[in-house]
Structure 1
């Protein structure tokens, strides 16, 4: 039974959310702090609620659609977090896109760990990376191996595989790594149904072990990562 962190429940009440957002905006010296705190409270709560609904639903959903639910759940969580640091979000339609892309057609002998995603100049991913973590990747693309290998939940699996070390050029915040990997998995579910189905049924590909282990970790870590980020915001305004 997965338990919800108290902060995610606490902030789903307007009487708690508005003062919290007001403190966030006043800390950044925003001239219309009260206005934005009032207007953004319901949107913030709605994002947290939907994020949790997607996450809880994913826990009891077949593997074939679980990455989609985790990915869209993270979208809603991220948008709520953005409202604490970017009162006018979304200011333009540009920030509404995914902000990530991947090859639509996979190679014949496709391997998930060797696949990569491209980081776009605009969209939710780069916007969240900048506003939530002050992070900006200098690389135009990043591989699944580079994203997965540094995650604490994946280290033992890489050790069992006796995978040779690779040079990790950038240290990604864990939350962004989960988001990026889930984006790619959601694309596989949507557009590579035959590959995904064979992987799930045959269980004879190394990719299967890594994907299953990652999704099991995501089930536990996604709400914890967002709860931790929000607690840091609380600490900053205390």
Structure 2
């Protein structure tokens, strides 16, 4: 699986491979200027994959204190490359360049990560990717970290160990979007809640620490696999 992941991501970072791939993607959506758009977008597509890989590798080799930020940047670059396969004009406006998510900058006293939530904004990268990559429309404007983490298979044992309900939400998000949202929130903690983030790492006595550390360990494996699988599905659809 690791070899397949590296193969697809490496293959598509070569211009001679990228342009025919993008051209076929655009022909699939019946774009009349498929070849021209493929020529114009090839380098941006490649840079997105390259930056995604570099941030991902940097995150794996860096301390926990900054991992969420680097993993979030990695996934952001990967998402933008994926969007170029379905939307040759991306980004058409500045509106789609924002995060597309928001969270409280000032956390409540006795803050708990699993109880924290994010709000989905009408414009930005998240809602744009949800529709264009997964044809998915979240059914509510706000969702908690618990609701996002609980459906992930590799988080189940912690919920069992902590005697927390593992009842799943009715409509779990696509895993790609789940990681984007969780990493967004974690990256905001790194950037704006340094005292809480530092105490969590130092004391290691909160449930949040166990959930977050295990999640980040698993995310380091999942991000490139999800990206490569999505791109392979595009190959399957055009070959």
Structures share fold, TM-score greater than 0.5: yes
- Residues 1-238 of structure 1: matches in 2 within 5 Å? 5-166=6-167, 168-238=169-239
**Partners of 2:155 and 2:226 in 1: CA distance:** 16
Query: What secondary structure, in the 3-state scheme, does the structure 2 residue paired with 1:117 have?
Result: strand
1:179-234 CA distances to partner (integer Å, 9 max, x unpaired)? 10000000000000000000000000000000000000110000000000000000
Paired with 2:166 and 2:35, the residues of 1 have a C-alpha distance of 51
CA contact (8 A) 1:200 1:208 kept: yes
RMSD of aligned Cα (Å) = 1.0
Q: Deviations over 1:74-113 (max 9, x none)?
A: 0000000000001100000000000000001000110000
Secondary structure at the aligned position of 1:8 is classed as helix
Please list every run of at least 4 consecutive aligned residues from structure 1 whose deviation after the TM superposition is greater than 6 angstroms.
none
TM-score (normalizing by structure 2): 0.97
1:167 and 1:53 map into 2 onto residues whose CA distance is: 34
Number of equivalenced pairs: 237
Aligned-residue offset at 1:161: 1.6
| Alpha-carbon distance in structure 1 between the residues aligned to 2:43 and 2:165 | 48
How many angstroms does 1:153 deviate by? 1.4
* Residue ranges of structure 1 left out of the alignment (5+ in a row): none
Kept after mapping to 1: 8 A contact 2:60/2:220:
yes
User: Structure 1-normalised TM-score?
Assistant: 0.97
Separation in 2, partners of 1:29, 1:7: 25
